[in-house]
Amino acid sequence: TLDYHNINLNEEYIRIHGKGNKERLLPMGEVAIDYLNTYEKKARPFLLKSGQTDHYFLSNRGSGMSRQNFFYIIKAYAVKAGIDKPLSPHTLRHAFATHLVQQGADLRSVQLMLGHSDISTTQIYTHIQNVQLKSQHAKHHPRG
């Protein structure tokens, strides 16, 4: 679970402890910060039933939200949104990285945000971009 002290809305980052307890900072955008501010002001106080907890995201019972609970919520929102493809936290992570690469983020920055120790793991996302380039070439070039 994500602890309250790992989220800094003023500095606009989340401190993540990944595999092997490796720490990294993940920047947040304005929209995420707005949602988290709303969560802190409206939802979290309502969910916080038993006094205090270090957990940032809380379940309906006021305890720290488990990753299984988070997965369930993502699946439920996908159904509500009419998304019929399987969706998971990993799918969102993959989409996050893919969008960064597609929009021109340098691979080293993406590597740091994802917490990959080896850049070759991050290079998977450049393959996706290469497939799209081939598709665009075939679609738009007279000899494609």
Q: Classify residue 58 by its DSSP letter.
A: B
Same domain flag for 103 and 45: no
Same domain, 47 and 92: no
Strand partners, 58: 64
Assess if residue 16 is contained within a domain.
yes
Q: By residue range, what is the domain housing residue 55?
A: 1-65
- Report whether pLDDT(11) > 90: yes
Assess whether 41 and 91 both reside in one domain.
no
Domain final position from 65, 95, 118: 65
Mean pLDDT for 31-48 is: 95
Read off the pTM: 0.78
Residues 1, 54, single domain; the answer is yes
- What's the pLDDT at 141? 76
**Max intra-chain CA distance, the chain:** 67
- pLDDT, position 78: 93
Co-location of 88 and 131 in the same domain: yes
What does the pLDDT average to over 108-118? 93
Distance CA 116, CA 141 (A): 36
Query: pLDDT band for position 37 (50/70/90)?
Result: very high
Determine the Cα–Cα distance for residues 16 and 19; give it in Å rounded to an integer.
Answer: 10
**Domains contained in the chain, number:** 2
Mean pLDDT of the chain: 89
Q: Are residues 127 and 94 in the same domain?
A: yes
pLDDT at 20: 83
4 and 47 share one domain: yes
Q: How confident is the model at residue 34 (pLDDT cuts 50, 70, 90)?
A: very high
